[in-house]
Chain A
Amino acid sequence: MPTSLAKFLQRAAITATSICIGIFAWAVFAANFAYPDLVPTPLETLKTATQMIVSGDLFNHVGVSLVRVLIGYLAGCIIGILVGALMGRIKIVGQFAEPLLQLMRPISPVALVPLSIIWFGIGDMSRWFIIFYGVVIIMIMNTAAGVAATPNIRLNAARCLGATRRQIFRRIVIPSAVPYILTGMRVALGFAFMGIVAAEMIAAQSGIGYLIMQSRMLLRTDIMFVGLVTLGVLGAVIDGFFKLAIDRTMKRYMEYQVNI
């Protein structure tokens, strides 16, 4: 235990130092090289952030954005896993879907904003769709890859133990794809956070993306920085918790990946 505690402390120290160096570099740059209105110092950003926290503004924006991210993300994960599993299981579906996916992959969520407005109007449905789109493609690709990558030996082992095709899919193929699916979900979470700004370009009245867009009109780069930092912190913290949850509950599915 002491060695693992020491390891943890060491990691924490490195993380803290790394963040401090980043902030210091930002401060030096803002104070000496940049035009003051264009790059706020860390201190100014902190002041603005404190004001926004005290007024409750920041939490409102964060809450609204998080709900949007969550809805789009979950829908994308569920649909993505289902479609990906189908693609991996039924060869012909995979072969037909693959080229379409490759064509859709380079289209960024931002490029879909105008279309989304025409299709779904300027309500939340449009925003969910933008985030959903970014998530679903990754989830389809990862799930399909995971399903297709089940080792042949494992399939044969299940066959000679008497499992039917359906049982093999449910009890062997899906668990085998879990590491791919979970990795996909972590990557997709990042994409969901990237998508939120694009999503909130659509006539939003609140949310982090809205905050960032709005502060451009007012030339309030300090607010803009608060929004950017919030996005970064939010994404990193949620990913950290996600990773922790995977390590705690999904270890049996992940461990062998390293140990083969």
Chain B
Amino acid sequence: MGVDPVTNTANVARRDSAGSSVSSRGRDSSWHELTLEGVSLTFNKGKANEYRALDGASLKVRRGEFFCLLGPSGCGKSTILNLIAGFARPDLGVIRMGDRQITDAGTERVVVFQDASNALFPWLRAHQNVEFGLSIQGLSNASAATRAMVYLDLVGLKDHANKFPYELSGGMKQRCQLARALVLEPEVLLMDEPFAALDAISKRIMQKELLRIWQHYRMTVVYITHDVNEAMLLAQKVAVMRRGPASAVKQVFEINQAYPRKPTDSAVMEILAKIEASLEEEVGVSLYAD
């Protein structure tokens, strides 16, 4: 091939969207930081199965930041993601991008779901899935197809563009979801345990790919995981959440290590130990002692 797919992408996309470059948008001053202030949400209010998921959760994600939400299962990680995505609204507190309050879903915040079989539209081919958002925006079929192909190439799915989702492997499905999200040039990429269902090797490959793409585009990433090691490899900041119910953000760790990181780096291991201690405290079980 010889052509760096990322540079290639930037050029084609620049021509297509009449002057507005897609590359390095993180430096775009019109982008915003994402804030949650005192957010509470209760499910099935007033019913027997009432469940208080979040109680006064606050966090701040700077623009272009790779931010991991980490916590034991049932701690409300996905609830926070759904709130940021605008799928749900909090009972109390506000969620903002810059000074604009988030009240609904929007294409500047696109989600990559864990359950790709349901998230991708099964009756559409991979490229049609990627074109979906563009055609909603009213792009002509031809220019949507051109744009989609650029992003399919970026995620390494160009050769499988004509396949239906059920013909794709787990990793390829997530690549497809990633392309479908990125093609809309979102300010924030919301990822809900996207690689949790993949085998160990596919997972590592996808993590590397994601980092490569993020380092180029510098969109804000809010990444949910229950895997400490994954958070260590990816995130600039890791927020550890309290155990549910009535969860909130417990503590935020900064990881100022250069990419790519190795799990064996001493600095990485040092922070890892701190984060695990924080998690152990929450779960109430020691992960290493007998």
Asked whether any CB of chain A lies closer than 8 Å to the CB of B79, the reply is: no
Binary contact readout A6-20 vs B (1 if CB under 8 angstroms, 0 otherwise) = 000000000000000
Contact between chains at A256 and B136 (CB < 8 Å) = no
Which listed residue (A159, A162, A175) contacts B184, Cβ 8 A? A162
Given the complex, which residues of B lie within 8 Å of A178, measured CB to CB? 123
Would you give the shortest CB distance from A224 to chain B, in whole angstroms?
46
Asked whether any CB of chain B lies closer than 8 Å to the CB of A172, the reply is: yes
Contact between chains at B117 and A157 (CB < 8 Å) = no
Contact between chains at A160 and B109 (CB < 8 Å) = yes
**Complexed CA–CA distance, A68 and B115 (Å):** 46
CB contact list, B114-167 vs A, under 8 A: 115, 117-124, 132-133, 136-137, 164-166
Contact between chains at B123 and A162 (CB < 8 Å) = no
Contact between chains at A162 and B115 (CB < 8 Å) = no
Contact between chains at B122 and A255 (CB < 8 Å) = yes
Contact size class for B? 20 to 34
**Complexed CA–CA distance, A79 and B86 (Å):** 36
**Complexed CA–CA distance, A160 and B186 (Å):** 10
CB contact list, B63-120 vs A, under 8 A: 82, 85-87, 105-107, 109-111, 113, 115, 117-120
User: Footprint of B on A, CB under 8 Å?
Assistant: 151, 153-154, 156-163, 167, 171-172, 175, 178, 252-253, 255-256, 259-260
The chain A residue sitting closest to B164, CB to CB, is: A252
Contacts A154-B121, A259-B117, A260-B117 known; A159 to B105 CB distance under 8 Å?
Answer: yes
Which listed residue (B110, B117, B136) contacts A163, Cβ 8 A? B136
Asked whether any CB of chain A lies closer than 8 Å to the CB of B218, the reply is: no
Which listed residue (A154, A161, A253) contacts B118, Cβ 8 A? A154
Asked whether any CB of chain A lies closer than 8 Å to the CB of B32, the reply is: no
Which listed residue (A156, A161, A255) contacts B136, Cβ 8 A? A161
Asked whether any CB of chain A lies closer than 8 Å to the CB of B242, the reply is: no
Which listed residue (B82, B133, B165) contacts A256, Cβ 8 A? B165
Would you give the shortest CB distance from A249 to chain B, in whole angstroms?
12
**Complexed CA–CA distance, A184 and B150 (Å):** 41
Given the complex, which residues of A lie within 8 Å of B119, measured CB to CB? 153-154, 157
What total of A-B pairs shows CB separation below 8 Å? Answer: 74
Would you give the shortest CB distance from A191 to chain B, in whole angstroms?
27
Given the complex, which residues of B lie within 8 Å of A171, measured CB to CB? 132
Contact between chains at A161 and B184 (CB < 8 Å) = yes
Task: Kindly list the 4 A-B residue pairs having the minimum CB-CB distance in the complex, ordered from nearest.
Answer: A256-B122, A161-B133, A159-B105, A162-B107
Contacts A256-B165, A259-B166 known; A161 to B132 CB distance under 8 Å?
Answer: yes
Asked whether any CB of chain A lies closer than 8 Å to the CB of B180, the reply is: yes
Contacts A178-B123, A256-B117 known; A162 to B106 CB distance under 8 Å?
Answer: yes
Contacts A156-B85, A159-B105, A167-B136 known; A256 to B110 CB distance under 8 Å?
Answer: no
Sample (25) of A-B pairs whose CB atoms are under 8 Å apart = A151-B118, A153-B113, A154-B119, A156-B111, A157-B121, A158-B121, A160-B86, A160-B107, A161-B107, A161-B136, A162-B133, A163-B132, A163-B136, A171-B132, A175-B123, A252-B124, A252-B164, A253-B123, A255-B122, A255-B164, A255-B166, A256-B122, A256-B164, A256-B165, A256-B166
Would you give the shortest CB distance from A235 to chain B, in whole angstroms?
29
Binary contact readout B234-256 vs A (1 if CB under 8 angstroms, 0 otherwise) = 00000000000000000000000
* Apart from the given pairs A161-B107, A161-B132, 8 other A-B contacts in the complex at a CB distance below 8 Å: A160-B105, A161-B184, A162-B106, A252-B164, A253-B123, A259-B117, A260-B117, A260-B118
Given the complex, which residues of B lie within 8 Å of A175, measured CB to CB? 121, 123
Most chain B Cβ neighbours within 10 Å, of A157, A167, A259, A260? A157
**Complexed CA–CA distance, A257 and B193 (Å):** 24
Given the complex, which residues of A lie within 8 Å of B105, measured CB to CB? 156, 159-160
Would you give the shortest CB distance from A124 to chain B, in whole angstroms?
38
**Complexed CA–CA distance, A159 and B181 (Å):** 12
**Complexed CA–CA distance, A70 and B43 (Å):** 49
**Complexed CA–CA distance, A252 and B129 (Å):** 13
**Complexed CA–CA distance, A154 and B136 (Å):** 15
The chain B residue sitting closest to A168, CB to CB, is: B136
The chain A residue sitting closest to B132, CB to CB, is: A161
The chain A residue sitting closest to B165, CB to CB, is: A256
Given the complex, which residues of B lie within 8 Å of A259, measured CB to CB? 117, 166
Which listed residue (B82, B118, B136) contacts A162, Cβ 8 A? B136
Would you give the shortest CB distance from A37 to chain B, in whole angstroms?
56
**Complexed CA–CA distance, A252 and B106 (Å):** 28
Would you give the shortest CB distance from B97 to chain A, in whole angstroms?
14
Would you give the shortest CB distance from A38 to chain B, in whole angstroms?
53
The chain B residue sitting closest to A256, CB to CB, is: B122
**Complexed CA–CA distance, A256 and B117 (Å):** 8
Contact between chains at B164 and A157 (CB < 8 Å) = no
